[in-house]
Amino acid sequence: MAALRSGALGPRVLSGNSRPGRPFTSRSKPFCSSATASRPLNAQRLAEKLRAQKQEQKTKKMPVTTNPVQRRVQELVRFTQQLQRVHPNVLAKELNRGILHQDKDLVVINKPYGLPVHGGPGVQLCITDVLPILAKMLRGHKAEPLHLCHRLDKETTGVMVLAWEKDMAHQVQELFRTRQVEKKYWAITVCAPLPSAGVVDIPIMEKEVQGQQQHHKMTLAPSYRMDNGKMVKVRASRNAHVAVTQYQVLSSTPSSALVELQPITGEDAPCHCEKLSAGTLKKLGLQQAKARYIPLHLHARQLILPALGSRTEDLLLACKLPRFFASSLHRLGLEMPNQDQSRDNETTHVEAQ
């Protein structure tokens, strides 16, 4: 329902006895009954009341808390919402400050949490919208917009590659498509995977999710299921995609683990939400009812781009963990792995400070 918009002189109406846009006031010649004439004012008051109620509900949803961990979680929720309301110039400045690498062909940024890459229903601001502004900040007002080379999910943080020229972007995209780019993600999981290293080979598919807003998400489509204690093969779906991911536990406790994920196929392994145990929630200082506010802990830690164009060596691009991720590691008793344990001395290193 469209709400009435009113100016200083009252709601603007269009009638046969007035010019378009002429304000309707008490001095105007009556053209309808008194009951009909009062409807716009009633609608205006109703709209104001609904806005006040909506604002009051928002205030109740995010009560002020003295717990520092819960306060930090609430700050992350507000930060994600604010990202959709900031001016594109402000967002471009933040991306500019977080640049990990820049040369004549590529620009590598540190993607923040909660920022979508592409636009869509309900998305007011995304990375694609600010690429022209970011390009002008780096090369002046005559600069052409930067081009995306790949994508990351809204909740994923870390290394993201952009290209100056469309042809270079297509070349990098082809490297991703043919799986020549080595990608490593860090994630915090509920409990520790057994064994501590291995390969996950479970197909995934896109399914529609019912809720306040209908949307699609990637879910598991396993080839087998348990039926009365027996393993039964499931008919494969035509929409399922092969998803093979190699994993290794970097640090673990009985209730959680820091896991390094390396996608082998073109489709990244999906992330799963699971009800957190009481012990994990206690360490985080959260109640189960507030667990939905915990951000997804999935970080694009490292990319290795093969030699391309004028560059004759592989390019290693690494990005440090965001603050909320590092804080969760500390709270859960997980150790930060050695920064240099997986690096190759013959590779060019670009580490985000």
**153 catalytic per annotation:** yes
Contact 159, 302 (CB under 8 A): yes
How far apart, in whole angstroms, are the C-alpha atoms of residue 207 and residue 160?
26
Which amino acid is it at 255? S
Give 233's strand partners. 224
Pairing status of strand 157-163 against strand 106-111: antiparallel
* DSSP code of residue 54: H
What sign does the dihedral 243-257-273-176 (CA atoms) show?
A: negative
Point out the catalytic residue in the list 153, 167, 268, 344.
Answer: 153
Fill in the DSSP letter of residue 321.
P
Distance (Å, rounded) from C-alpha 290 to C-alpha 14? 50
Cβ contacts of 331-334, under 8 Å, gap ≥ 24: 331/69, 331/283, 331/284, 331/285, 332/188, 332/253, 332/255, 332/256, 332/280, 332/283, 332/284, 333/253, 333/283, 334/188, 334/251, 334/252, 334/253, 334/256, 334/257, 334/258
Active site residues: 153
